[in-house]
Each structure stands twice: as structure tokens, then as C-alpha cells.
Amino acid sequence: MSGKRELTQNHVAQMLAGGSVEEAAARLRPDFTNLPHVPAGSAGVSLERAMTWWAEAGVAPEIHDVLLGGAADDLSRYEGNIENAIGLLRVPLGVAGPLRVNGLAAHGDYWIPLATTEAALVASYHRGCRLLTAAGGCSAMVLNESLSRAPGFVFDTAVEAGRLVVWVLEHFDEFHAVVAATTAHGRLIDVGCTIEGNHVYLNFEFTTGDASGQNMVTLASQAICDDILARCPVVPLRWYVESNLSGDKKACARSFTSARGKKVTAEVRLSALLIEKHLHTTARAMVDYWRMSAIGGVLSGTLGIQGQFANGLAALYLATGQDAACVAESATGVTRFEETADGGLYAAVTLPGIMVGTVGGGTGLPTQRACLELMGLAGPGKARALAEVCAGLLLGGELSITAALSAGHFARAHHKLARQRQHPEPH
């Protein structure tokens, strides 16, 4: 069996491709010959600007219409959501459901739009949604809600760092008016203070109404920092509006002890009959697999224990105009399965960082707005309901994938729905 040394030698040989180390090093040196013209960036979005970029990039005329996606007259609607615009990306859009959610904010039957290029994904979530609906729906609740931005300050000494913290705590109530001047929807609710030597991390926590709110809390935190610099008697050597403590767009353990966005849980009790009818397996088989997968997650060092949160979130985020990069933080959490005394199953998911909104960002774009309207969750007053629907969708997905893996159907389903369709094997 090959060891690490042999594998490394083989990899080095592949990189050199028969050449010498000196030849490889020459290829890696900076090359300043014939540098291309780099056009200035542009936040303006129009057909004319897109044509300029096509010309700069040498895009062949026959693919112009493909890049536009038939939206030449509509391109300007995307201004404020993109820079250096050259067209639109079309991703297949499927639907799962209807999913019945019995939540504190979401209560009803919801069609779930999912944008993805991965075959079998929509089918898996559709199966889970059908099961939950047949069980009378899942229960869902938003448990907590906040979004943070964490400015950082550098001082000469830890003593000065401590003086800033004392001043900030004494003047915290005064920051509410500062925040109110930047947003009508966000509200400052708390601040956490961390001192590391002569560094101070201030973790400001906000509620953001029905917006996902990343830009909102950035502008509010900037205003607070400006106020601190103007009035605090101790002056930092340097400061930054974000110190990387907030967990923005990163999976982190901090989420599990607080909330980032909306902390949501969803649960359901399933009878043995429903499991057999819809999932073709048993509760005991699913719990046995879940137990092994939980230990596997611990051994691999994952944050939380779950099967496919990212699949459902990424597809739903793309469809409804959420910030797709937030899947990195949103797709953390815990799935738990327990066999009940009657041979049924108790299943629950809890996610501490669902980052969703129903106003702002990409939620007002044509297709994304239509997807939110399909769900009945477009516009103000719907963000908590959307978060509860997210939890219900992910619960359905966890049930579906666990059933497939416990019954040995996982690979067969992917072969049937993806590989066999695209690359049929000869008989």
C-alpha cells in the first residue's frame, strides 16, 4: 500500500510533467510581458455596458443572446445587485412540496422552489416534504434572532483596551439613537466585549426586521464606531469595522451558543406505517444509521451533526434571492432521530444561523420575487415564516437522505435520476 512519501513523489512527477524543477520554477515567476488592458469596473447595469465588456473579453456574437437569457430590455433591473454585468445565469428551477408547516410564524402548505443543477436533489426534498405533509405537518419555531457585527480596536496596552470597554458599557444606551439614524428597521440589542492583550473586540448584536441584514448592521456598526472615536477619551492606534469575530459567512462554534440570523427548530413524529409507505425503511434502521453518521461527524470534526443542510439551503437561497454565500454559516446545526415506543420515529432539526430575508438584497429581483410569491412569503412581515419553512424543508431532507442511506437506496437513486439519464450505459 502506498505511503505518503510515495504519493507525494507521484504528485511531484505529475506536476513536473517530465520537465525539471528549474523549468517549473520559471513558469511560476511573475510575467510582465504583454499585460492585457484591464477596463475600469462599473456598477452600472445596461445592455450597452454589457456589450462593452463583451468586446473587451472577445466574446463571440453567437453567445451574446445566451448570456442575456432573453432579458436585454430588462438588464437594468439588476443594478444595485451586480457589478461589471455581462448577462444572467440560468439555473434549472424545480419545486418540492407542498410542505405543511405548523409554525408560530409559518402556518400552512408551502410550495418550495429549489434552484439547482444537481439531479436527485429536488426529488429527495420532494419526498421528505410529502412525508411531513402526510404526517399532518412539522412543528417549527424561531427560537432566537440576532445578527452581529464585531468591530476591532488596537491600543498600546491592555489597560487602554480595558478603558474602552468600560466607556462602551457606560454609554451603550446612547448608541440606540446612533443606530436609528442609519436604519428604520434595525435595532441594537446587545454588545459583547472581548479583550485579548491590547486588542478589543466589540460584538454588536442587532435585530434586522424582515431583511437578512448584513449591510444594515455594517452601516450601523460603522456609525457606532464613528461615535466612539468622536467621544471616547481613549484613542485606538487602529480600528476595523469587522474583526472576524462575528462569524459572518463562516461555519463557527460561536453560533451554537447564540444565534446568527434566526435560530430555528422543527420536529415531527412519524408512524411506522408512514415510514414504510413513503421511505421504504423502518425507524430502527434510520436511527441505526443516524447514530453511526453522528459518530462519523464527530470523528471528522464537523460543526454540528447533519446530513445535507447545505443542499436544501443553497437551492432555496438561490431561488429566493438570499445571499448564497451565507450557506457557509446557515448550514450548521443538529439533526436528531429517536425510535418511539410504538416503532415510529421522532425527528428534529435545530439550526442556529438561518440567514434569510423577504425584503432587500436579491429578494426583489424578478425571478426571486416570483419564487417568494409562489411560497406566499414575499415582502414585509414574512421573514420569520420563511425561516420556519427553511427548517421544515431541511427536516424533510434529513428524513429522505437518512432513509435512502439506511435502506441502501442512495446510490441507486442517483444512478437512476442523474448518471443513467445523462450517460446511458450500453445494454
Q: What is the pLDDT of residues 268-283, one digit of tens each?
A: 999 999 999 999 999 9
Q: Per the domain annotation, does 253 fall within a domain? A: no
The grid coordinates listed for 236 are 485606538
In this prediction, residue 320 carries a pLDDT of 98
Q: Per the domain annotation, does 325 fall within a domain? A: yes
Hey, how many other C-beta atoms are within 10 angstroms of the C-beta on 282? 19
In this prediction, residue 427 carries a pLDDT of 38
Q: In which element (H, E) is residue 152 found?
A: strand 152-154
The grid coordinates listed for 137 are 405537518
Residue 123 has pLDDT above 80, yes or no: yes
Q: Per the domain annotation, does 8 fall within a domain? A: no
- The answer to whether residues 212 and 73 belong to one domain is no
Question: Where residue 191 sits, what CATH number does that domain have?
Answer: 3.30.70.420
Rounded CA-CA distance 265/103 in Å is: 10
Residue 325 has pLDDT above 90, yes or no: yes
What does the buried/exposed string (b/e) look like for 333-371 if buried means 16 or more CB atoms within 10 Å of the residue's CB?
A: bbbbbebeeeebbebbbbbbbbbbbbbbbbbbbebbbeb
The grid coordinates listed for 269 are 413524529
Share of the chain above pLDDT 70, in %: 95
- The answer to whether residues 60 and 116 belong to one domain is no
Rounded CA-CA distance 200/191 in Å is: 12
In this prediction, residue 71 carries a pLDDT of 72
Contact in structure between 325 and 353 (CB atoms under 8 Å): no
Q: What is the pLDDT of residues 128-171, one digit of tens each?
A: 999 999 999 999 999 999 999 999 999 999 999 999 999 999 99
Q: What is the pLDDT of residues 407-416, one digit of tens each?
A: 877 556 555 6
Q: In which element (H, E) is residue 264 found?
A: strand 261-270
What does the buried/exposed string (b/e) look like for 297-324 if buried means 16 or more CB atoms within 10 Å of the residue's CB?
A: beeeeebbbbbbbbbbbbbbbbbbbbbe
- The answer to whether residues 385 and 307 belong to one domain is yes
Q: How far does CA 165 lie from the centroid of its chain? A: 32
- The answer to whether residues 162 and 206 belong to one domain is yes
DSSP H stretches of helix in 203-282: 214-231, 254-257, 272-279
- Average confidence (pLDDT) over 401-426: 67
- The answer to whether residues 203 and 312 belong to one domain is no
- The answer to whether residues 276 and 364 belong to one domain is yes
Q: At which residue does the C-alpha cell 464527530 appear?
A: 298
> ω before 113 within 30° of 0 (cis)?
no
Rounded CA-CA distance 305/256 in Å is: 12
Predicted confidence band at 418 (pLDDT cuts at 50, 70, 90)? low
Which residues does the annotation mark as catalytic?
118, 323, 414
Smallest CA-to-CA distance from 355 within 111, 126, 148 is with: 148
In this prediction, residue 284 carries a pLDDT of 97
Rounded CA-CA distance 107/101 in Å is: 5
Rounded CA-CA distance 305/350 in Å is: 10
Rounded CA-CA distance 390/353 in Å is: 11
Q: What is the pLDDT of residues 254-270, one digit of tens each?
A: 877 778 899 999 999 99
In this prediction, residue 426 carries a pLDDT of 42
- The answer to whether residues 294 and 333 belong to one domain is yes
Residue 420 has pLDDT above 70, yes or no: no
Q: Per the domain annotation, does 249 fall within a domain? A: no
- Average confidence (pLDDT) over 290-297: 94
Query: No. of H helices and E strands in the chain?
Result: 17, 11
- The answer to whether residues 139 and 155 belong to one domain is no
Which positions ≥6 away from 418 have C-beta within 8 Å? 118, 119, 120
Higher-pLDDT residue of 41, 399: 399
- Average confidence (pLDDT) over 75-82: 89
Q: Per the domain annotation, does 180 fall within a domain? A: yes
Q: At which residue does the C-alpha cell 484613542 appear?
A: 235
Q: What is the pLDDT of residues 145-157, one digit of tens each?
A: 999 999 999 999 9
Rounded CA-CA distance 353/250 in Å is: 10
How many domains does the structure of the chain reveal?
A: 3
Q: At which residue does the C-alpha cell 453511526 appear?
A: 292
Smallest CA-to-CA distance from 333 within 317, 313, 360 is with: 313
- The answer to whether residues 280 and 371 belong to one domain is yes
Q: What is the pLDDT of residues 86-113, one digit of tens each?
A: 888 889 999 999 999 999 999 999 999 9
In this prediction, residue 412 carries a pLDDT of 61
Rounded CA-CA distance 418/122 in Å is: 12
Residue 79 has pLDDT above 60, yes or no: yes
Question: Where residue 129 sits, what CATH number does that domain have?
Answer: 3.90.770.10
Separation of first and last alpha carbons in the chain: 36
- The answer to whether residues 181 and 279 belong to one domain is no
- The answer to whether residues 177 and 61 belong to one domain is no
Q: Per the domain annotation, does 70 fall within a domain? A: yes
Rounded CA-CA distance 319/390 in Å is: 13
Contact in structure between 306 and 337 (CB atoms under 8 Å): no
Q: Per the domain annotation, does 207 fall within a domain? A: yes
Residue 56 has pLDDT above 90, yes or no: no
Contact in structure between 93 and 297 (CB atoms under 8 Å): no
- The answer to whether residues 231 and 271 belong to one domain is no
Smallest CA-to-CA distance from 187 within 146, 135, 237, 238 is with: 146
DSSP H stretches of helix in 4-120: 4-16, 21-28, 47-57, 64-68
The grid coordinates listed for 139 are 412543528
Which structural domain range is residue 204 located in? 151-240
Q: How far does CA 406 lie from the centroid of its chain? A: 27
* Amino acid present at 54: W
Q: Per the domain annotation, does 327 fall within a domain? A: yes
Smallest CA-to-CA distance from 278 within 127, 84, 102 is with: 127
